Amino acid sequence: KNEVEQSPQNLTAQEGEFITINCSYSVGISALHWLQQHPGGGIVSLFMLSSGKKKHGRLIATINIQEKHSSLHITASHPRDSAVYICAVTGTASKLTFGTGTRLQVTL
Amino acid sequence: DAGITQSPRHKVTETGTPVTLRCHQTENHRYMYWYRQDPGHGLRLIHYSYGVKDTDKGEVSDGYSVSRSKTEDFLLTLESATSSQTSVYFCAHRDSGTEAFFGQGTRLTVV
């Protein structure tokens, strides 16, 4: 079992829809990261959080430390949001461990 | 550019040859990482470093070695490249309590 599990693996949405991507982890962590990767592109950090909730534009990330679960929400989705969204955790020895990603496709 | 540069960006090499990939960061961050990204596997940790000359293995370290003689540089060496090492390689850096920054990736093809 992977230390970091994401769901769903693939997601298709229509423009304007509210999107939720989930991440569960099984190890103790000091922080959780949400990252974005566009096709053929580099990897960009969206959020780093260790408790509570963060918001940036149409993106919201939440974390529940007790339940070892985090969610990434996208409000009013747009085709330019189409990308792979990756959850990663900073655990023991400062290793950065990744989930396998959620491929999001937003259509018109 | 998140203060990180990978070189080369693309490389084709023959089976059995040694290959070195370079990661250079300008942020003076303590931690540096090498990952490979393959379809269906996501990003898998090869090696990481928590300081100059301090490195440790990740989950897919066989066939790879690393060196960090300066804070800013983290080198990944494929001692004798194999076709199974054809992949996209990403370097990352971070400091305690900071977000992670990623290089643009190196596409390596072993023929």
**CA–CA separation, B110 and B14 (whole Å):** 5
- Beta-bridged to residue B42, according to DSSP, are B38
* pLDDT, tens only, B63-83: 999 999 999 999 999 999 999
Cβ within 8 Å of residue B12, ≥6 positions away: B108, B109, B110, B111
Interface test with A, best of B46, B99, B102, B107 (most A CBs within 10 A): B99
Report whether A20 contacts A79 (CB < 8 A).
Answer: no
Q: Which two tokens stand for residue B19?
A: 């290959």
The neighbour count for residue B99, using CB atoms within 10 Å, is: 18
Would you state the pLDDT for residue A96?
87
Checking if the pLDDT of B1 tops 70, the result is no
**B102/A48 touch (CB, cutoff 8 Å), yes or no:** no
C-alpha separations of B57 from A6, A62, B50, B65 in Å? 24, 31, 11, 9
Q: Which residues of A touch B41 (CB under 8 A)?
A: 100
Nearest to A48 among B90, B99, B102 (CB): B99
The neighbour count for residue A36, using CB atoms within 10 Å, is: 20
Report whether B66 contacts B75 (CB < 8 A).
Answer: yes
The average pLDDT across B7-20 equals 97
Q: Where are the beta strands (DSSP E) in chain B?
A: 4-7, 10-13, 19-25, 31-38, 42-51, 54-57, 64-70, 73-78, 87-94, 101-102, 106-110
Nearest residue on chain A to B48, alpha-carbon basis: A95
* pLDDT, tens only, A60-105: 999 999 999 999 999 999 999 999 999 999 987 678 889 999 999 9
How far off is chain A from B104, nearest CA to CA, in Å?
A: 5
**A93/B56 touch (CB, cutoff 8 Å), yes or no:** yes
The closest of B6, B17, B3 to B85, measured between CA atoms, is B17
DSSP helix/strand/coil, B30: coil
Residue-by-residue DSSP string for B52-80: TTEEEE-TT-TTEEEEEEETTEEEEEESS
